[in-house]
Homo-oligomer: A and B are copies of this chain.
Amino acid sequence: MPPALSLSSRSLRTADSPISYFIQKAIETPGLISLAAGLVDESAFPSAEIAQVVAEMMANPATAKAALQYGSTQGLPALRARVLDRVCTADGVKPSDINLTLGDVVLTTGSQQMLYLLGEVLIEPGDIVLAEAPSYFVYHDCLKSHGAKVIGVPMDDGGMCLKSLEKELIRLELAGELKKVKLIYTVDYFQNPTGLTLARDRRPKLVELAKRFSKHHRILILEDAAYRELRYDGDDITSIKRFDTTNEYVIYTTTFSKPCSPGLKTGYSLLPNDLVAPVCNLKGNHDFGSSNLAQHILNRLLETGAFDRHLVRLREVYRSKRDAMLTAIATEFASCPGVRWNVPAGGLYVWMTFPSGTPTGKGSPLVEAAVSEGVLYIPGNLGHVPNEQGKVPDHEIRLSFGVAEPSEIAEGVRRLRRAYAELETSKRGARESVLT
């Protein structure tokens, strides 16, 4: 045996992702329908459009050189200009209306890299991040690796409850812990995992709350708008960023992975200006710039309109998949007392709640029955932060309609129903044997 490795405290705080178990299950089990992974639809990738823009770029020596040479840490200016325009157009403002310029836009290796960098730039071990309960569990892992404590804020149909958030901030202030609060994290469009969207009227109020409690330092809002462009019903809702008219309190981050292709692994963010240098200095150390070729491809896809044409098609694909899932769930679970589910207007996820006393996590009878029926889901407990007793709600699940075909989705839901029926039967059996 060689002498042991001596790992940093950060490394020791960093565990394998809790979903590795589920990925492994998916790999090991032939015929399994995965409603677990947040992967995206494969039939709808804009492969012909990508082939075309690459062929055009490579055929012209000037554009080929630009795409194949190093880029900059902050990212391709032309693409930064396009995404700034894109977000502001969606919000019905000019960049100058909300104090934004090209210098406030940063491109990253997916939006995940920005989530990581922000934690790295802002979090000291022991600091606090407030997040929806449940929230995007992959980011919880990041925050844990930075040494942050995540406090969950309850949600209702309008997303994060601002009354609860306010109460929590007051509690923290009274406990002398407001100094530790660095971020309020929200996935505010068709949230992962619940599919819920932060209500329109809560958005300016959230900015006001952050301002009001920025007593020791600025408390920033991290608006993770990854799913914003995947809307299937109704009109787009103004971003939280729109209400941060001085560009001081809100970081808006999103990705091309969901509306276009994860293989390009490119995200973009609008940052308060004084946060750009700290973030880019660290990103310079990480990689001095994400894949420049991917940025050039995306720039051309946006420029030619191929991106938006693709998005129209993609929304159709996902709308019908969502409908397939909701129809199947309604058909299969309508008569199950205490089983409820959200009806998302966009995104990739349906959130189901089973009666309490129906654990859904790793090793639970439901997950075991589901896998043996041939369907995989993500347990809801992964998205929750344990309370002071180490407990989390354990009777929820996340279903994704992103990657499976509509027919598979329906079959997957039927398998889930059979798995749940086995539980009901065995519960009833247990009850009856107690009674007799």
Contacts and interface: CB of A to CB of B under 8 A. Distances in A.
Interface in A296-327: 296
Contact of A287 (B16, B67, B112): B112
B42 A286 contact: no
A218 B58 contact: no
- Within the oligomer, what is the number of copies of this chain? 2
A376 interface: no
Contacts of A288: 17, 110, 112, 138
Interface residues of A, number: 85
Contacts of A3: 214-218
Contacts of A358: none
Given A69-B262, A261-B293, A281-B16, A7 B58 contact: no
A149 to B, nearest CB: 15
Given A122-B7, A214-B2, A275-B5, A69 B39 contact: yes
A123 B8 contact: yes
A381 interface: no
Contact of A263 (B67, B110, B281): B67
Interface string A92-114: 00000000000000000110110
Contact of A8 (B112, B120, B145, B246): B120
A124 to B, nearest CB: 5
Given A145-B285, A263-B70, A286-B286, A58 B50 contact: yes
A132 interface: no
A45 interface: yes
Contacts of A58: 47-48, 50-51, 54
A291 B4 contact: no
Interface string A272-297: 10110110011011111111111010
Interface string A211-223: 0001111101000
21 contacts: A2-B249, A3-B214, A3-B217, A5-B220, A7-B278, A8-B120, A8-B121, A8-B146, A11-B120, A16-B277, A16-B284, A42-B69, A45-B65, A47-B61, A112-B287, A116-B285, A141-B284, A142-B285, A261-B293, A263-B292, A264-B291
